[in-house]
Amino acid sequence: MTPADRFAPAACPRIVVKIGSALLVDPAGKVRREWLAGVVADIADRIAAGQHVAVVSSGAIALGARRLKLPKGGRASLEDAQAAAATGQIALSQCWAELLAERGLTAAQMLVTLDDLEDRRRYLNASATLERLMSLGVVPVINENDSVATEEIRFGDNDRLAARIGQAASARGVILLSDIDGLYTANPQRDPNAVLVPEVKRLDARIRAMADGGSASGMGSGGMISKLEAARIAMSAGANLAIISGKIDHPLSAFTATGHGTVFVAEKGASARKAWLAGRLTAKGVIHVDAGAAHALGSGRSLLAAGATAVEGRFARGDVVDILGPDATPVARGLAEYDALDAGLIVGRRSDALEALLGYAPRAALVHRDHMVLL
């Protein structure tokens, strides 16, 4: 199987395609309509072959900034970005609707915030909407709702949003159209010896060290670091993720023909709930653990109070918490079995001492393995 075969309709019934601002909007703040028409043609071909396609499209802020004549592409302040997004989203949606209609396809707009996909109930609602739209043959066009998002409560880039949408849509593939054609061993703009990495099966420290932060265009908000985070989310949800060049005409067709890019290969066996946990970008608290507990978690064990060393944050039972090893390295994420106050009381204590400390019969673990995912 070639890298591109993983994203073919036969192997991947449902796919998410992400397009960034730097590709969709030219430096003058206008839609690159001819190029986008080629992308829509590629999407139409995939739909005709039986594949469901959802699109995550940036560009609202860049388009709105031009119309409002805002400095720095509408990113001089949060208020400017919100105003630009509110103005530009109408133009962006209209463009997508017109181009898809030319191919006999119907577009649907979905604007989401971080909270919509972090809250389990709202996540399931978004998932149900995507499911129904795609079953009707509609092409959902999704963007972050930047007109109401704040710096504290936002994705910040559409790479991670695309991965989360892929998860919510039960997609088996996510394709990120980028201004770079994949992950390189070093920044190819600075190192002439940099080599493209065609396939990644494990996101380890070596792979993460290859990432280079920042957006090359200055127009978008995503760099290679955000793309690796998107890959982590997609892989944990059982979806392959590809980073390919969007700087050519008909980029999806070109990928099918050549397979050129970097493909991150999906993990297997994650439950829907654990995939949702792994994909979350926020947690209500942190539990620090010792080296022995970190090793036990890696072997599939639950987190017991005896292995915890400290608790941070204000969380209730059932909230998501991050579990960090002795060097503050993320080990796992899970649902707390105790609130922060009670968890703090029993940190480092043996199981036979917990009832006296708590005043009630203790639960089996601080975080149970059935409600935990390794990072």
Question: Which one, of 29, 41, 17, lies nearest residue 88 by Cα?
Answer: 29
Question: What value does the mean pLDDT take over residues 45-58?
Answer: 97
Structural domain tally of the chain? Answer: 2
Of 275, 299, 320, which residue is a domain's last? Answer: 275
CB 244 within 8 A of CB 175: yes
Q: Are residues 55 and 163 in the same domain?
A: yes
131, burial (CB in 10 Å: exposed 0-12, middle 13-18, buried 19+): middle
Report pLDDT digits (tens) over 82-134: 999 999 999 999 999 999 999 999 999 999 988 888 887 788 889 899 999 99
CB 32 within 8 A of CB 25: yes
Of residues 48 and 273, the one with the higher pLDDT is 48
DSSP state, residue 301:
P
> Taking the complete model, does pTM exceed 0.85, yes or no?
no
Of 255, 275, 295, which residue is a domain's last? Answer: 275
Q: What percent of the chain has pLDDT over 90?
A: 65
Q: Are residues 69 and 159 in the same domain?
A: yes
DSSP SS3 for 181: coil
Q: What is the CA radius of gyration of the chain?
A: 22
Question: Exposed e or buried b for every residue in 302-341, given b needs 16+ CB within 10 A?
Answer: bbbbbbbeebeeebeeeebbbbbbeeeeebbbbbbbbbbe
Question: What value does the mean pLDDT take over residues 291-296?
Answer: 95
Q: Are residues 183 and 311 in the same domain?
A: no
How does residue 212 score in pLDDT terms, banded at 50, 70 and 90?
low
Please spell the DSSP secondary structure of 220-275, one letter per residue.
Answer: SS--HHHHHHHHHHHHHTT-EEEEEE-SSSSHHHHHHHH--SEEEPPPS---HHHH
* pLDDT averaged over every residue in the chain: 90
How does residue 150 score in pLDDT terms, banded at 50, 70 and 90?
low
Q: Are residues 263 and 319 in the same domain?
A: no
pLDDT for residue 216 is more than 60: no
For residue 154, the model assigns a pLDDT of 66
pLDDT for residue 351 is more than 80: yes
For residue 157, the model assigns a pLDDT of 80
CA distance 2 to 79: 46
Q: Are residues 142 and 198 in the same domain?
A: yes
How does residue 215 score in pLDDT terms, banded at 50, 70 and 90?
very low
Domain that holds residue 308: 283-374
Question: What value does the mean pLDDT take over residues 36-50?
Answer: 97
CA distance 129 to 370: 28
pLDDT for residue 11 is more than 80: yes
Q: Are residues 176 and 314 in the same domain?
A: no
In sequence order, what are the beta bridge partners of 67? Answer: none
Q: Are residues 102 and 243 in the same domain?
A: yes
Of 258, 275, 292, which residue is a domain's last? Answer: 275
Q: Are residues 216 and 329 in the same domain?
A: no
pLDDT for residue 217 is more than 60: no
Q: Are residues 336 and 234 in the same domain?
A: no
For residue 270, the model assigns a pLDDT of 61
CATH of the domain at 99: 3.40.1160.10
Give the range with max mean pLDDT: 111-115, 161-165, 223-227, 278-282: 161-165
Q: Are residues 259 and 310 in the same domain?
A: no
pLDDT for residue 218 is more than 60: no
Question: What value does the mean pLDDT take over residues 333-361?
Answer: 92
Strand residue runs (E) in 42-172: 52-57, 107-112, 139-144
pLDDT for residue 221 is more than 50: no
Place of tokens 């639960």: 363
**What phi and psi values does residue 17 have, to the nearest 5 degrees?**
-115, 125
For residue 213, the model assigns a pLDDT of 45
Q: Are residues 322 and 197 in the same domain?
A: no
CATH of the domain at 358: 2.30.130.10
Q: Are residues 15 and 150 in the same domain?
A: yes
Question: What value does the mean pLDDT take over residues 156-175?
Answer: 91
Helix or strand run (H / E) with residue 131:
helix 120-135
